[in-house]
A and B are shown apart, each in its own frame.
Chain A
Amino acid sequence: MAGLVLKDIRKSYGAVDVIHGIDLDIKQGEFIVFVGPSGCGKSTLLRMIAGLEQITGGDMLIDGERVNDVPPSKRGIAMVFQSYALYPHMTVYDNMAFGMRIAGESKEEIDRRVRAAADILQLTTYLDRLPKALSGGQRQRVAIGRAICRNPKVFLFDEPLSNLDAALRVATRIEIAKLNEQMADTTMIYVTHDQVEAMTLADRIVVLSAGRIEQVGAPLELYERPANLFVARFIGSPAMNVIPAKITSAGAATALELTGGRTVTVDIATAASEVGKAASFGVRPEDLQISTGDDFLFAGTVSIVEALGEVTLLYIEGLVPGEPIIAKIPGILDVKRGDTIRFTADRAKLHLFNAAGQSYRAL
Chain B
Amino acid sequence: MQQLLFAIFTMVGGVLACVVYFFGTNWLLDKIFPSKGLTGPQASKNLRITNAIRPWLFMAPALFALGIYLVYPVFESVRLSLHDRSGQQFVGLSNFRWMLGDSEFRQSIFNNFLWLLVVPALSTFFGLVIAALTDRIWWGNIAKTLIFMPMAISFVGAAVIWKFVYDYRSEGSEQIGILNAIVVAMGGQPEAWMTIPFWNNFFLMVILIWIQTGFAMVILSAALRGIPEETIEAAVIDGANGFQIFFKIMVPQIWGTIAVVWTTITILVLKVFDIVLAMTNGQWQTQVLANLMFDWMFRGGGDFGRGASIAVVIMILVIPIMIWNIRNATREMER
Chain A interfacial positions (CB closer than 8 Å to B): 50-52, 71-74, 77-79, 81-90, 98-99, 102-103, 146, 150
Contacts and interface: CB of A to CB of B under 8 A. Distances in A.
Nearest to A89: B252
In the A-B complex, list the 6 residue pairs whose CB atoms are closest, starting with the nearest: A73-B239, A85-B230, A99-B238, A89-B252, A85-B234, A81-B230
A89 B253 contact: yes
Contacts of B255: 89
Contacts, number: 64
B228 interface: yes
B245 to A, nearest CB: 10
Q: Chain A: interface secondary structure?
A: loop
A79 B239 contact: no
Nearest to B229: A85
Interface string B202-244: 0000000000000000000000000010110111111110001
B225 to A, nearest CB: 16
Contacts of B234: 79, 81, 85-87, 146
16 contacts: A51-B236, A52-B236, A71-B239, A79-B234, A84-B230, A86-B231, A86-B234, A87-B249, A87-B252, A87-B253, A88-B253, A98-B248, A99-B239, A146-B234, A146-B238, A150-B238
Nearest to B244: A102
A169 B234 CA distance: 22
Given A81-B230, A88-B231, A102 B238 contact: yes
Given A72-B236, A85-B228, A89-B255, 15 more contacts: A52-B233, A52-B237, A73-B238, A83-B230, A84-B230, A86-B234, A87-B231, A87-B235, A87-B252, A90-B252, A99-B237, A99-B238, A99-B239, A146-B234, A146-B238
B248 to A, nearest CB: 8
Nearest to A74: B239
B308 to A, nearest CB: 45
A81 B238 CA distance: 13
Nearest to B252: A89
Contacts of A52: 233, 236-237
Contacts of B252: 87, 89-90
B136 to A, nearest CB: 16
A147 B69 CA distance: 59
Contacts of A77: 237
A51 B255 CA distance: 29
A146 B236 CA distance: 13
Given A87-B249, A89-B252, A89-B255, A72 B237 contact: yes
B237 A78 contact: yes
